[in-house]
Structure 1
Protein backbone atom coordinates (compact mmCIF):
# COMPACT_ATOMS: atom_id res chain seq x y z
CA UNK A 1 0.00 0.00 0.00
CA UNK A 2 1.39 3.36 -1.04
CA UNK A 3 1.89 6.26 1.30
CA UNK A 4 3.54 9.65 0.97
CA UNK A 5 6.63 8.17 2.63
CA UNK A 6 6.78 5.20 0.25
CA UNK A 7 6.39 7.43 -2.83
CA UNK A 8 9.11 9.71 -1.47
CA UNK A 9 11.35 6.69 -0.94
CA UNK A 10 10.84 5.62 -4.55
CA UNK A 11 11.76 9.15 -5.66
CA UNK A 12 14.83 9.14 -3.41
CA UNK A 13 15.84 5.72 -4.72
CA UNK A 14 15.43 6.98 -8.30
CA UNK A 15 18.17 9.54 -7.71
CA UNK A 16 20.39 7.34 -5.55
CA UNK A 17 19.70 8.93 -2.17
CA UNK A 18 19.15 7.23 1.19
CA UNK A 19 15.61 6.26 2.13
CA UNK A 20 13.60 7.77 4.98
CA UNK A 21 11.57 6.09 7.73
CA UNK A 22 8.92 8.81 7.83
CA UNK A 23 8.07 11.95 5.85
CA UNK A 24 8.05 13.93 9.12
CA UNK A 25 11.53 12.97 10.26
CA UNK A 26 14.18 15.67 10.46
CA UNK A 27 16.54 14.35 7.77
CA UNK A 28 17.40 16.57 4.81
CA UNK A 29 15.84 13.99 2.48
CA UNK A 30 12.51 13.95 4.36
CA UNK A 31 12.37 17.75 4.65
CA UNK A 32 13.07 18.16 0.92
CA UNK A 33 10.46 15.57 -0.06
CA UNK A 34 7.89 17.11 2.27
CA UNK A 35 8.58 20.57 0.84
CA UNK A 36 7.91 19.42 -2.74
CA UNK A 37 5.50 16.46 -2.55
CA UNK A 38 2.11 18.22 -2.42
CA UNK A 39 2.89 20.74 -5.16
CA UNK A 40 4.27 18.05 -7.48
CA UNK A 41 1.19 15.85 -6.89
CA UNK A 42 -1.25 18.73 -7.35
CA UNK A 43 0.55 20.03 -10.45
CA UNK A 44 0.38 16.58 -12.05
CA UNK A 45 -3.31 16.24 -11.21
CA UNK A 46 -4.05 19.71 -12.56
CA UNK A 47 -2.13 19.14 -15.79
CA UNK A 48 -4.54 16.64 -17.38
CA UNK A 49 -8.17 15.49 -17.30
CA UNK A 50 -7.45 12.31 -15.34
CA UNK A 51 -10.46 9.99 -15.41
CA UNK A 52 -9.61 8.68 -11.94
CA UNK A 53 -9.55 12.20 -10.51
CA UNK A 54 -12.81 13.47 -12.01
CA UNK A 55 -15.75 14.08 -9.75
CA UNK A 56 -18.94 16.13 -9.74
CA UNK A 57 -20.54 18.24 -7.05
CA UNK A 58 -23.67 20.36 -6.81
CA UNK A 59 -22.30 23.82 -6.08
CA UNK A 60 -23.33 25.96 -3.11
CA UNK A 61 -24.61 29.40 -4.08
CA UNK A 62 -22.86 32.45 -2.61
CA UNK A 63 -23.12 36.23 -3.03
CA UNK A 64 -22.50 37.20 -6.65
CA UNK A 65 -19.76 39.82 -7.05
CA UNK A 66 -20.02 39.82 -10.85
CA UNK A 67 -23.69 40.44 -11.50
CA UNK A 68 -22.81 42.47 -14.60
CA UNK A 69 -21.60 39.30 -16.37
CA UNK A 70 -22.99 36.27 -14.52
CA UNK A 71 -26.35 35.48 -12.96
CA UNK A 72 -25.00 33.24 -10.19
CA UNK A 73 -21.90 32.66 -8.09
CA UNK A 74 -20.92 29.46 -6.33
CA UNK A 75 -18.27 28.45 -3.84
CA UNK A 76 -15.40 26.58 -5.48
CA UNK A 77 -15.03 23.14 -3.85
CA UNK A 78 -12.04 23.09 -1.50
CA UNK A 79 -10.55 20.02 -3.22
CA UNK A 80 -11.00 21.42 -6.76
CA UNK A 81 -7.67 21.60 -8.59
CA UNK A 82 -9.11 22.15 -12.05
CA UNK A 83 -12.70 22.98 -13.01
CA UNK A 84 -13.65 21.09 -16.17
CA UNK A 85 -17.24 22.04 -16.95
CA UNK A 86 -20.60 23.02 -15.59
CA UNK A 87 -22.94 20.18 -16.45
CA UNK A 88 -26.04 21.28 -18.34
CA UNK A 89 -29.33 20.87 -16.47
CA UNK A 90 -30.53 18.52 -19.20
CA UNK A 91 -28.00 16.39 -21.05
CA UNK A 92 -28.52 16.58 -24.80
CA UNK A 93 -25.02 15.95 -26.13
CA UNK A 94 -21.37 16.35 -25.20
CA UNK A 95 -21.27 19.42 -27.46
CA UNK A 96 -23.42 21.51 -25.12
CA UNK A 97 -21.22 23.71 -22.96
CA UNK A 98 -22.38 25.97 -20.16
CA UNK A 99 -20.15 29.07 -20.05
CA UNK A 100 -18.50 29.74 -16.69
CA UNK A 101 -15.59 31.56 -15.08
CA UNK A 102 -13.46 30.26 -12.22
CA UNK A 103 -11.81 33.13 -10.38
CA UNK A 104 -11.50 34.64 -6.90
CA UNK A 105 -12.12 31.19 -5.41
CA UNK A 106 -15.60 31.19 -6.95
CA UNK A 107 -17.37 29.66 -9.93
CA UNK A 108 -19.56 32.07 -11.92
CA UNK A 109 -22.19 30.99 -14.44
CA UNK A 110 -25.74 31.73 -15.52
CA UNK A 111 -27.25 28.37 -14.55
CA UNK A 112 -29.02 27.48 -11.34
CA UNK A 113 -28.66 25.00 -9.85
CA UNK A 114 -25.13 24.24 -11.06
CA UNK A 115 -23.15 21.03 -10.90
CA UNK A 116 -19.40 21.21 -11.49
CA UNK A 117 -17.27 18.44 -12.95
CA UNK A 118 -13.69 18.90 -11.84
CA UNK A 119 -10.32 17.34 -11.08
CA UNK A 120 -10.05 16.74 -7.35
CA UNK A 121 -7.05 16.65 -5.04
CA UNK A 122 -6.09 13.20 -3.77
CA UNK A 123 -4.80 13.24 -0.21
CA UNK A 124 -4.48 9.43 -0.04
CA UNK A 125 -1.70 8.16 -2.34
CA UNK A 126 -2.99 4.58 -1.95
CA UNK A 127 -5.98 5.54 -4.12
CA UNK A 128 -3.82 6.73 -7.02
CA UNK A 129 -3.40 4.34 -9.97
CA UNK A 130 0.00 2.58 -10.12
CA UNK A 131 1.14 4.28 -13.33
CA UNK A 132 0.29 7.68 -11.88
CA UNK A 133 2.22 6.77 -8.71
CA UNK A 134 5.23 5.83 -10.85
CA UNK A 135 5.02 9.10 -12.79
CA UNK A 136 4.59 11.03 -9.54
CA UNK A 137 7.67 9.42 -7.99
CA UNK A 138 9.76 10.32 -11.05
CA UNK A 139 8.39 13.89 -11.14
CA UNK A 140 9.27 14.23 -7.45
CA UNK A 141 12.72 12.77 -8.15
CA UNK A 142 13.29 15.40 -10.85
CA UNK A 143 12.17 18.15 -8.45
CA UNK A 144 14.38 17.06 -5.54
CA UNK A 145 17.43 16.03 -7.59
CA UNK A 146 19.18 19.42 -7.52
CA UNK A 147 18.57 20.19 -3.82
CA UNK A 148 19.77 16.72 -2.80
CA UNK A 149 22.46 15.89 -5.37
CA UNK A 150 23.47 19.20 -7.03
CA UNK A 151 23.86 17.08 -10.16
CA UNK A 152 22.29 18.48 -13.34
CA UNK A 153 22.70 15.15 -15.13
CA UNK A 154 20.72 13.28 -12.46
CA UNK A 155 17.97 15.89 -12.66
CA UNK A 156 17.89 15.74 -16.46
CA UNK A 157 17.66 11.94 -16.46
CA UNK A 158 14.90 11.96 -13.83
CA UNK A 159 13.00 14.63 -15.77
CA UNK A 160 13.14 12.59 -19.01
CA UNK A 161 11.91 9.44 -17.26
CA UNK A 162 9.23 11.49 -15.50
CA UNK A 163 7.98 12.75 -18.86
CA UNK A 164 7.82 9.27 -20.38
CA UNK A 165 6.11 7.71 -17.34
CA UNK A 166 3.62 10.59 -17.31
CA UNK A 167 2.81 9.90 -20.96
CA UNK A 168 2.27 6.20 -20.16
CA UNK A 169 -0.01 7.11 -17.26
CA UNK A 170 -2.04 9.44 -19.51
CA UNK A 171 -2.48 6.73 -22.16
CA UNK A 172 -3.62 4.19 -19.57
CA UNK A 173 -5.99 6.71 -18.01
CA UNK A 174 -7.46 7.70 -21.38
CA UNK A 175 -8.23 4.05 -22.07
CA UNK A 176 -10.21 3.63 -18.84
CA UNK A 177 -13.55 4.64 -20.37
CA UNK A 178 -13.26 3.46 -23.93
CA UNK A 179 -16.46 2.72 -25.86
CA UNK A 180 -16.56 0.99 -29.20
CA UNK A 181 -18.98 1.93 -31.95
CA UNK A 182 -20.75 -1.42 -31.48
CA UNK A 183 -21.32 -0.68 -27.79
CA UNK A 184 -22.68 2.76 -28.63
CA UNK A 185 -24.94 1.27 -31.32
CA UNK A 186 -26.33 -1.27 -28.86
CA UNK A 187 -27.09 1.53 -26.41
CA UNK A 188 -28.84 3.54 -29.11
CA UNK A 189 -30.82 0.48 -30.27
CA UNK A 190 -31.90 -0.19 -26.67
CA UNK A 191 -33.44 3.29 -26.50
CA UNK A 192 -35.70 2.61 -29.52
Structure 2
Protein backbone atom coordinates (compact mmCIF):
# COMPACT_ATOMS: atom_id res chain seq x y z
CA UNK A 1 0.00 0.00 0.00
CA UNK A 2 1.33 3.46 -0.84
CA UNK A 3 0.02 7.00 -0.45
CA UNK A 4 -1.58 9.05 -3.21
CA UNK A 5 -2.79 12.64 -3.04
CA UNK A 6 -6.45 13.62 -2.66
CA UNK A 7 -8.23 14.68 -5.88
CA UNK A 8 -5.19 13.89 -8.01
CA UNK A 9 -5.10 11.49 -10.96
CA UNK A 10 -2.68 8.61 -10.50
CA UNK A 11 -1.46 5.51 -12.33
CA UNK A 12 -1.13 2.05 -10.81
CA UNK A 13 -0.11 -1.40 -12.01
CA UNK A 14 -1.97 -4.67 -11.47
CA UNK A 15 -0.99 -8.17 -12.53
CA UNK A 16 -3.74 -10.43 -13.83
CA UNK A 17 -3.14 -14.10 -13.02
CA UNK A 18 -4.53 -17.04 -14.98
CA UNK A 19 -7.62 -18.38 -13.18
CA UNK A 20 -6.69 -21.98 -13.97
CA UNK A 21 -3.06 -22.27 -12.83
CA UNK A 22 -3.11 -19.19 -10.52
CA UNK A 23 0.54 -18.53 -11.45
CA UNK A 24 0.92 -17.37 -15.05
CA UNK A 25 0.35 -13.77 -16.08
CA UNK A 26 -2.73 -13.48 -18.32
CA UNK A 27 -2.37 -11.34 -21.45
CA UNK A 28 -4.80 -9.89 -23.99
CA UNK A 29 -7.54 -9.16 -21.45
CA UNK A 30 -10.26 -6.53 -21.39
CA UNK A 31 -10.46 -5.30 -17.80
CA UNK A 32 -13.42 -3.99 -15.85
CA UNK A 33 -12.37 -1.84 -12.91
CA UNK A 34 -14.15 -0.96 -9.66
CA UNK A 35 -13.01 1.05 -6.64
CA UNK A 36 -13.85 0.93 -2.94
CA UNK A 37 -13.35 4.24 -1.10
CA UNK A 38 -12.58 4.20 2.62
CA UNK A 39 -14.37 0.92 3.34
CA UNK A 40 -17.38 1.50 1.08
CA UNK A 41 -18.75 -0.88 -1.51
CA UNK A 42 -17.14 -1.33 -4.90
CA UNK A 43 -18.31 1.08 -7.59
CA UNK A 44 -17.52 0.63 -11.28
CA UNK A 45 -15.25 3.20 -12.88
CA UNK A 46 -13.82 3.68 -16.39
CA UNK A 47 -10.08 4.36 -16.27
CA UNK A 48 -7.71 4.10 -19.22
CA UNK A 49 -6.14 0.63 -19.15
CA UNK A 50 -2.91 -0.17 -21.02
CA UNK A 51 -1.41 -3.65 -21.26
CA UNK A 52 2.31 -3.72 -20.41
CA UNK A 53 3.09 -7.41 -20.96
CA UNK A 54 3.63 -10.53 -18.86
CA UNK A 55 0.19 -10.07 -17.31
CA UNK A 56 0.82 -6.50 -16.11
CA UNK A 57 -1.72 -3.75 -16.85
CA UNK A 58 -1.43 -0.01 -16.23
CA UNK A 59 -4.59 1.63 -14.84
CA UNK A 60 -4.89 5.43 -15.04
CA UNK A 61 -7.24 6.52 -12.25
CA UNK A 62 -8.99 9.87 -12.64
CA UNK A 63 -8.98 12.54 -9.93
CA UNK A 64 -12.63 11.67 -9.22
CA UNK A 65 -11.56 8.12 -8.32
CA UNK A 66 -9.27 9.58 -5.63
CA UNK A 67 -11.67 12.06 -4.01
CA UNK A 68 -12.10 10.38 -0.60
CA UNK A 69 -9.53 10.31 2.20
CA UNK A 70 -8.55 6.90 3.51
CA UNK A 71 -8.06 3.48 1.96
CA UNK A 72 -8.70 3.13 -1.76
CA UNK A 73 -9.00 -0.44 -3.08
CA UNK A 74 -8.84 -0.91 -6.85
CA UNK A 75 -10.13 -4.22 -8.22
CA UNK A 76 -9.65 -5.27 -11.84
CA UNK A 77 -11.56 -8.24 -13.25
CA UNK A 78 -11.50 -10.08 -16.57
CA UNK A 79 -12.70 -13.37 -18.03
CA UNK A 80 -10.24 -16.18 -17.33
CA UNK A 81 -8.23 -14.32 -14.69
CA UNK A 82 -8.18 -13.99 -10.92
CA UNK A 83 -9.14 -10.48 -9.72
CA UNK A 84 -6.22 -8.06 -9.62
CA UNK A 85 -6.28 -5.90 -6.49
CA UNK A 86 -4.19 -2.86 -5.57
CA UNK A 87 -4.55 -1.10 -2.20
CA UNK A 88 -3.75 2.62 -1.95
CA UNK A 89 -4.17 5.24 0.76
CA UNK A 90 -5.50 8.69 -0.12
CA UNK A 91 -3.96 11.53 1.91
CA UNK A 92 -4.58 15.27 1.80
CA UNK A 93 -0.95 16.16 1.12
CA UNK A 94 1.98 14.04 0.01
CA UNK A 95 5.28 14.71 1.74
CA UNK A 96 7.64 16.63 -0.55
CA UNK A 97 10.60 14.59 0.62
CA UNK A 98 11.44 11.24 2.13
CA UNK A 99 14.03 10.35 4.74
CA UNK A 100 15.36 7.32 6.57
CA UNK A 101 13.26 8.40 9.56
CA UNK A 102 10.13 8.53 7.41
CA UNK A 103 10.82 5.05 6.01
CA UNK A 104 11.35 3.70 9.52
CA UNK A 105 8.11 5.29 10.71
CA UNK A 106 6.25 3.80 7.73
CA UNK A 107 7.61 0.38 8.74
CA UNK A 108 6.64 0.94 12.38
CA UNK A 109 3.09 1.88 11.40
CA UNK A 110 2.79 -1.14 9.12
CA UNK A 111 3.65 -3.55 11.91
CA UNK A 112 1.24 -1.90 14.35
CA UNK A 113 3.64 0.25 16.39
CA UNK A 114 2.15 3.65 17.22
CA UNK A 115 5.20 5.24 18.90
CA UNK A 116 7.20 6.79 16.07
CA UNK A 117 10.79 8.04 16.08
CA UNK A 118 12.08 11.56 15.45
CA UNK A 119 15.69 10.54 14.83
CA UNK A 120 17.46 7.28 14.00
CA UNK A 121 19.96 8.18 16.72
CA UNK A 122 17.49 8.67 19.56
CA UNK A 123 17.59 6.42 22.64
CA UNK A 124 14.41 4.44 22.06
CA UNK A 125 13.70 0.77 21.43
CA UNK A 126 12.05 1.61 18.12
CA UNK A 127 15.09 3.54 16.86
CA UNK A 128 17.50 0.85 18.06
CA UNK A 129 15.61 -1.92 16.26
CA UNK A 130 15.20 0.14 13.08
CA UNK A 131 18.93 0.94 13.13
CA UNK A 132 19.75 -2.74 13.50
CA UNK A 133 17.83 -3.77 10.39
CA UNK A 134 17.65 -0.73 8.10
CA UNK A 135 20.96 -1.02 6.19
CA UNK A 136 20.90 -4.80 5.56
CA UNK A 137 17.23 -4.66 4.56
CA UNK A 138 17.84 -1.69 2.23
CA UNK A 139 20.73 -3.52 0.56
CA UNK A 140 18.66 -6.70 0.22
CA UNK A 141 15.83 -4.83 -1.52
CA UNK A 142 18.35 -3.14 -3.81
CA UNK A 143 19.75 -6.56 -4.71
CA UNK A 144 16.29 -7.99 -5.37
CA UNK A 145 15.77 -6.24 -8.71
CA UNK A 146 17.89 -4.53 -11.41
CA UNK A 147 16.58 -1.08 -10.45
CA UNK A 148 17.35 1.57 -13.11
CA UNK A 149 18.06 4.22 -10.44
CA UNK A 150 20.75 1.99 -8.90
CA UNK A 151 22.30 0.78 -12.17
CA UNK A 152 25.96 1.57 -12.65
CA UNK A 153 28.68 0.65 -15.13
CA UNK A 154 32.40 0.32 -14.48
CA UNK A 155 35.42 -0.55 -16.60
CA UNK A 156 37.01 -3.28 -14.52
CA UNK A 157 40.62 -3.12 -13.36
CA UNK A 158 42.62 -6.30 -13.77
CA UNK A 159 44.04 -7.95 -10.65
CA UNK A 160 47.02 -10.31 -10.55
CA UNK A 161 47.01 -13.88 -11.81
CA UNK A 162 43.62 -15.57 -12.17
CA UNK A 163 42.99 -19.16 -11.09
CA UNK A 164 43.61 -21.78 -13.77
CA UNK A 165 39.94 -22.08 -14.76
CA UNK A 166 39.62 -18.39 -15.73
CA UNK A 167 41.70 -16.07 -17.93
CA UNK A 168 41.13 -12.81 -16.01
CA UNK A 169 40.64 -11.62 -12.44
CA UNK A 170 39.12 -8.15 -12.00
CA UNK A 171 38.62 -5.74 -9.11
CA UNK A 172 35.10 -5.86 -7.64
CA UNK A 173 33.58 -2.30 -7.67
CA UNK A 174 33.57 -0.87 -4.15
CA UNK A 175 29.92 0.26 -4.30
CA UNK A 176 28.64 -2.92 -5.97
CA UNK A 177 25.87 -4.95 -4.34
CA UNK A 178 25.29 -7.32 -7.24
CA UNK A 179 26.93 -7.77 -10.63
CA UNK A 180 24.19 -8.12 -13.24
CA UNK A 181 26.27 -8.85 -16.33
CA UNK A 182 29.62 -8.31 -18.05
CA UNK A 183 30.04 -6.73 -21.48
CA UNK A 184 33.07 -5.92 -23.65
CA UNK A 185 34.44 -2.46 -22.90
CA UNK A 186 32.37 0.24 -24.62
CA UNK A 187 29.41 -1.97 -25.56
CA UNK A 188 27.07 -1.17 -22.66
CA UNK A 189 24.44 0.35 -24.95
CA UNK A 190 23.95 -2.75 -27.07
CA UNK A 191 21.43 -5.52 -26.54
CA UNK A 192 22.08 -8.15 -23.91
CA UNK A 193 23.18 -10.84 -26.37
CA UNK A 194 24.67 -14.06 -25.08
CA UNK A 195 25.55 -13.79 -21.35
CA UNK A 196 29.25 -13.65 -20.51
CA UNK A 197 30.15 -16.34 -17.94
CA UNK A 198 31.71 -15.09 -14.71
CA UNK A 199 31.88 -15.89 -11.03
CA UNK A 200 32.67 -13.98 -7.86
CA UNK A 201 35.90 -15.06 -6.18
CA UNK A 202 38.66 -13.57 -4.05
CA UNK A 203 41.44 -11.14 -4.87
CA UNK A 204 44.82 -12.83 -5.02
CA UNK A 205 46.48 -11.02 -2.11
CA UNK A 206 43.50 -10.30 0.16
CA UNK A 207 40.08 -11.49 1.23
CA UNK A 208 38.40 -8.86 -0.97
CA UNK A 209 35.99 -9.99 -3.66
CA UNK A 210 37.00 -10.24 -7.30
CA UNK A 211 35.28 -10.96 -10.62
CA UNK A 212 36.59 -13.97 -12.54
CA UNK A 213 35.88 -14.31 -16.25
CA UNK A 214 37.37 -15.13 -19.65
CA UNK A 215 36.38 -11.72 -21.09
CA UNK A 216 39.22 -9.34 -21.89
CA UNK A 217 38.71 -5.61 -21.17
CA UNK A 218 35.49 -6.33 -19.32
CA UNK A 219 32.93 -3.78 -18.20
CA UNK A 220 30.41 -4.59 -15.46
CA UNK A 221 26.77 -3.62 -15.22
CA UNK A 222 25.83 -3.78 -11.57
CA UNK A 223 23.44 -2.64 -8.86
CA UNK A 224 25.13 -0.08 -6.62
CA UNK A 225 24.63 0.56 -2.92
CA UNK A 226 22.44 3.68 -2.87
CA UNK A 227 22.30 5.52 0.46
CA UNK A 228 20.59 8.74 -0.68
CA UNK A 229 16.89 8.09 -0.09
CA UNK A 230 16.02 11.06 -2.33
CA UNK A 231 16.89 8.79 -5.26
CA UNK A 232 14.37 6.12 -4.25
CA UNK A 233 11.21 5.99 -6.41
CA UNK A 234 7.97 5.98 -4.41
CA UNK A 235 7.18 2.35 -5.22
CA UNK A 236 10.68 1.26 -4.13
CA UNK A 237 10.28 3.21 -0.87
CA UNK A 238 7.00 1.43 -0.17
CA UNK A 239 8.57 -1.99 -0.82
CA UNK A 240 11.51 -1.11 1.44
CA UNK A 241 9.16 -0.04 4.25
CA UNK A 242 7.28 -3.35 4.01
CA UNK A 243 10.53 -5.33 4.03
CA UNK A 244 11.69 -3.42 7.10
CA UNK A 245 8.32 -3.95 8.79
CA UNK A 246 8.67 -7.71 8.27
CA UNK A 247 11.99 -7.68 10.16
CA UNK A 248 11.08 -5.37 13.04
CA UNK A 249 7.57 -6.74 13.73
CA UNK A 250 8.69 -9.62 15.96
CA UNK A 251 11.33 -7.69 17.98
CA UNK A 252 8.84 -4.89 18.67
CA UNK A 253 5.47 -6.67 18.84
CA UNK A 254 6.29 -10.42 19.22
CA UNK A 255 3.43 -10.93 16.75
CA UNK A 256 4.31 -13.54 14.11
CA UNK A 257 1.11 -12.82 12.19
CA UNK A 258 2.11 -9.18 11.68
CA UNK A 259 5.54 -10.26 10.47
CA UNK A 260 4.04 -12.75 8.00
CA UNK A 261 1.55 -10.18 6.71
CA UNK A 262 4.34 -7.64 6.21
CA UNK A 263 6.39 -10.25 4.34
CA UNK A 264 3.47 -10.99 2.01
CA UNK A 265 2.87 -7.29 1.44
CA UNK A 266 6.58 -6.83 0.71
CA UNK A 267 6.46 -9.55 -1.95
CA UNK A 268 3.50 -7.81 -3.61
CA UNK A 269 5.06 -4.35 -3.30
CA UNK A 270 8.32 -5.64 -4.79
CA UNK A 271 6.48 -6.95 -7.86
CA UNK A 272 4.66 -3.63 -8.27
CA UNK A 273 7.87 -1.63 -7.88
CA UNK A 274 9.64 -3.89 -10.35
CA UNK A 275 6.81 -3.40 -12.85
CA UNK A 276 7.05 0.37 -12.38
CA UNK A 277 10.79 0.15 -13.04
CA UNK A 278 10.23 -1.82 -16.25
CA UNK A 279 7.53 0.65 -17.31
CA UNK A 280 9.93 3.58 -16.90
CA UNK A 281 12.87 1.78 -18.49
CA UNK A 282 14.29 3.39 -21.60
CA UNK A 283 17.09 2.53 -23.93
CA UNK A 284 20.32 4.34 -23.13
CA UNK A 285 22.72 6.01 -25.52
CA UNK A 286 24.32 3.83 -28.17
CA UNK A 287 27.78 2.37 -27.68
CA UNK A 288 30.75 4.70 -27.82
CA UNK A 289 32.86 4.63 -30.95
CA UNK A 290 36.60 4.01 -30.86
CA UNK A 291 37.03 7.66 -31.92
CA UNK A 292 35.09 9.00 -28.91
CA UNK A 293 36.94 6.77 -26.46
CA UNK A 294 40.29 7.81 -27.94
CA UNK A 295 39.51 11.51 -27.33
CA UNK A 296 39.09 10.99 -23.57
TM-score under structure 2 length normalisation: 0.57
Q: Distance in 1 between matches of 2:263 and 2:213?
A: 39
Q: Name which of 276, 279, 283 aligns with 1:175.
A: 279
Q: Distance in 2 between matches of 1:96 and 1:155?
A: 41
Task: Give the equivalent residue in structure 2 for 1:72.
Answer: 168
Distance 1:89 1:126, change over 3 A: closer
> How much has 1:90 moved relative to structure 2?
6.6
Question: In 2, are the aligned partners of 1:88 and 1:96 still within 8 Å (CA)?
Answer: no
Question: In 1, are the aligned partners of 2:153 and 2:221 still within 8 Å (CA)?
Answer: yes
Q: Name which of 138, 153, 156 aligns with 2:260.
A: 156
SS at match of 2:146: coil
Q: Deviations over 1:75-105 (max 9, x none)?
A: 1011111111111247475223322211220
Q: How does 1:91-130 map to 2 (within 5 A)?
A: 91=187, 93-104=191-202, 105-130=209-234
Aligned length: 178
Task: Give the equivalent residue in structure 1 for 2:158.
Answer: 61
Task: Give the equivalent residue in structure 1 for 2:239.
Answer: 135
Give yes or no for the alignment of 1:28 onto 2:125: yes
SS at match of 2:179: strand
Give the strand-richer structure, 1 or 2.
2
Structure with greater contact order relative to length (CA < 8 Å, sep ≥ 6):
1
Q: Deviations over 1:133-183 (max 9, x none)?
A: 00100110111000000011221222222221111101111112267xxxx
Question: In 2, are the aligned partners of 1:8 and 1:140 still within 8 Å (CA)?
Answer: yes
- Name stretches of at least 5 consecutive residues in structure 2 with no aligned partner: 1-96, 203-208, 284-296
Distance 1:158 1:116, change over 3 A: same
C-alpha RMSD of matched pairs (Å): 1.7
Question: In 1, are the aligned partners of 2:155 and 2:185 still within 8 Å (CA)?
Answer: no
Query: Between Structure 1 and Structure 2, whose CA radius of gyration is higher?
Result: 2
Moved over 6 A (4+): none
Task: Give the equivalent residue in structure 1 for 2:65.
Answer: none
Give the helix-richer structure, 1 or 2.
1
Give yes or no for the alignment of 1:165 onto 2:269: yes
